[in-house]
Each structure stands twice: as structure tokens, then as C-alpha cells.
């Protein structure tokens, strides 16, 4: 990743790592414990000749500048590696919409919802796109989705405002009052907000407030992009809540981006122990041993888990 992220990582280790009493060896990217620090340089897998998180941010910058072709190119690169990333599919849909390709945008909004069913912004954009391309019955389905969610929410849930705004946007589009604006205030996603959300999430994880942490990790992911550190902690939070299959998907995605990520390798090993797959856990330990020139916190922690499982 770029020098800016490396600089932010160093600052975060000094500030957040020390404030939480975390050992510097595990204060950047996870593993060994629920550590802290900004997302570190992602170190993409050798087969990937670009950093997906950096390309993702470049796409957002292009969207904000109205450079929709450039945005498409950036998001296409990310999707070539992570075709099921809901956030990138949503943003690719916005890039298509910005170029006036509203019909083409529908496919990406549909994918975003497929991979993240409660993605409010994607439902809003899909409803608008259906209305604007002569699919009133499909637009009505999206409007009904908003109405049902608002009914469940009772105006008190965290997404109440977003749901209300989304419902209104789809209603306007169905009434022919949608101006199909090319720039959206929803794209005001400064990197600092993503960094702050990530740091807040790690603090919440240390407090074992996993549901809340996952909300902030999702916010960080939408701004920073597909980053192995964020994916690793999304796996961690879901695993602590007993969602092992979801956790495994996050770990595997993190390792697809960076096979040598110590935190994701360790946490995946812990998951295997929790699901009774000890042979796989031992393979994870052997891999971490190869990655660590000298003994490292992740190796020692996974050894401790394996010893405990044998008792």
C-alpha cells in the first residue's frame, strides 16, 4: 500500500497500541490477540500485481471527481480479484450510472445486494435504476423492501434515516421526479473516517462488543476498501459471535489478498480448533512457523490453543 498508509500505521501503533496496552509486535493488523493499529500495508499476494484497497480508493476519488471511466477501470481491477465484494459492486454501479448507463448499473447493484442483502444504498440505487429503465414492478419490490425494513425498524434502529431517505428516493424515481444526479453526497468518504471507524472497531473488539465492532468494520471497509486487516477482524468478530462459516469466508478473503498475513493465518487456525478440524489447525501452525523467522506472537498463541484443545 502507499506511503500514506504506512505513515498512518506507525502513528496508530504509537497512539492506539500504547493506549490499549498492546505489545508493539501485535499492534498492527491482528493476530496474537485482538490487537490494534491502522490497517497496515496490505502486501497483496504475489499473483496480484496491485493493491486492491489502493485501487478501490482511487475509484472513489475518480467518482467524486466525476471521472467515471477512471472509476470503472479501478473498480474493474478490484472485481477481477474479488468479484463478490459488495461494496465494489455497488460503486461500480454508481460509476456506470454516472456515465448514463443506468441499465448496465442494475447488474452491479443486484450483485451488491446478493452478497450483502441488507445493503441499504444498493437497494436505493437499484430501485431508482429499475424505475428509470421501465421496470416499475421491480422498483415496487425495492420500495416494499424499504417499507418492510422501516416497519421492523420502528424508526429507532441505526439505519432508520438511511431507510427513510432510500424509500423517498425510490418513490421519487417511480413518480418520474428523479434527476439521476451524477454526484452523490453519499460518496463523501474521506479516508480519515475509515481510519477512525477501524480504530473504534478495534477498541470495541478489545471490550468484547463484537456486534458494534462489526458495524464500524463495515464502515471502514466501505471507505478503505478490501483490506486484509479489516477482513481479518471481520472474521474475528463473527467467529466470536459463533458465525463460523461467515468468519471463515472473511479469513479466506484476507488470505487471498495476502497469504502471509499472520493474524488471519492464526485466527483461521483458532477457528479450525473451535470447529474440531485439528489437522487443518496444525497446518496453519506449520505455515505460521515458516513465516516467522523467529518465534512470533501468532505462533505462540496458536500453539497455546492447540495444547489447550488436547487437554
Instruction: Evaluate whether residue 55 is within a structural domain.
Output: no
Give per-residue pLDDT as tens, 56-90.
Answer: 999 999 999 999 999 999 999 999 999 999 999 99
Instruction: Evaluate whether residue 57 is within a structural domain.
Output: no
Residues in a beta bridge with 31: 33
The pLDDT-based confidence of 153 (bands split at 50, 70, 90) is confident
153 and 91, same structural domain?
yes
The pLDDT-based confidence of 158 (bands split at 50, 70, 90) is confident
| Residue where a domain stops, chosen among 147, 182, 217 | 182
Q: State how many domains the chain has.
A: 2
Instruction: Evaluate whether residue 59 is within a structural domain.
Output: no
Structural domain for 103, as ranges: 67-182
The mean pLDDT of 277-296, rounded to a whole number, is 94
The pLDDT-based confidence of 16 (bands split at 50, 70, 90) is very low
Instruction: Evaluate whether residue 41 is within a structural domain.
Output: yes
32 and 121, same structural domain?
no
Give the CATH number of the domain where residue 96 resides: 1.25.40.10
Instruction: Evaluate whether residue 296 is within a structural domain.
Output: yes
How many Å apart are CA 78 and CA 112, to the nearest integer? 14
Q: Is the pLDDT of residue 174 over 80?
A: yes
Report pLDDT for 295. Answer: 80
Give per-residue pLDDT as tens, 191-234.
Answer: 788 999 999 999 999 999 999 999 999 999 999 999 999 999 99
304 and 206, same structural domain?
yes
The pLDDT-based confidence of 277 (bands split at 50, 70, 90) is very high
302 and 193, same structural domain?
yes
174 and 78, same structural domain?
yes
Percent of the chain residues topping a pLDDT of 90: 73
Instruction: Evaluate whether residue 84 is within a structural domain.
Output: yes
Give per-residue pLDDT as tens, 232-242.
Answer: 999 999 999 99
246 and 291, same structural domain?
yes
pTM of the model: 0.83
Amino acid at each position: 500500500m502507499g506511503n500514506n498508509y504506512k505513515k498512518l500505521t506507525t502513528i496508530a501503533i504509537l497512539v492506539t497500541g500504547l493506549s490499549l496496552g498492546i505489545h508493539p509486535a501485535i499492534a498492527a493488523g491482528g493476530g496474537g490477540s485482538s490487537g490494534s493499529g491502522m490497517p497496515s500495508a496490505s502486501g497483496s499476494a504475489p499473483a496480484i500485481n496491485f493493491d486492491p484497497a489502493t485501487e478501490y480508493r482511487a475509484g472513489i476519488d475518480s467518482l467524486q471527481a466525476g471521472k467515471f471511466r477512471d472509476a470503472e477501470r479501478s473498480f474493474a481491477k478490484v472485481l477481477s480479484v474479488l468479484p463478490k465484494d459488495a461494496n465494489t459492486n455497488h460503486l461500480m454501479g454508481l460509476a456506470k450510472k454516472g456515465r448514463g448507463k443506468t441499465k448496465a448499473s442494475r447488474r452491479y447493484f443486484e450483485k451488491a445486494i446478493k452478497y450483502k442483502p441488507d445493503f441499504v444504498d444498493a437497494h436505493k440505487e437499484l430501485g431508482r435504476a429499475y424505475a428509470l429503465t421501465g421496470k416499475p414492478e421491480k422498483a415496487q419490490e425495492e420500495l416494499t423492501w424499504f417499507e418492510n425494513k422501516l416497519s421492523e425498524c420502528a424508526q429507532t434502529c441505526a439505519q432508520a434515516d438511511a431507510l427513510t431517505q432510500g424509500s423517498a428516493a425510490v418513490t421519487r424515481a417511480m413518480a418520474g421526479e428523479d434527476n439521476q444526479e451524477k454526484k452523490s453526497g453519499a460518496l463523501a468518504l474521506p479516508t480519515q473516517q475509515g481510519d477512525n471507524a477501524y480504530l473504534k472497531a478495534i477498541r470495541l473488539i478489545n471490550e468484547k462488543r463484537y456486534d458494534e465492532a462489526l458495524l464500524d468494520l463495515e464502515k471502514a471497509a466501505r471507505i478503505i476498501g478490501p483490506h486484509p486487516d479489516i477482513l481479518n477482524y471481520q472474521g474475528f468478530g463473527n467467529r466470536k459471535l459463533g458465525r463460523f462459516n461467515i468468519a471463515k469466508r472473511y479469513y479466506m478473503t484476507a488470505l487471498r489478498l495476502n497469504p502471509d498475513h499472520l493474524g488471519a493465518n492464526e485466527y483461521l487456525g483458532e477457528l479450525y480448533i473451535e470447529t474440531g478440524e485439528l489437522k487443518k489447525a496444525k497446518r496453519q501452525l506449520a505455515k505460521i512457523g515458516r513465516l516467522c523467522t523467529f518465534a512470533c506472537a501468532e505462533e505462540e498463541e496458536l500453539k497455546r490453543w492447540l495444547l489447550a484443545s488436547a487437554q
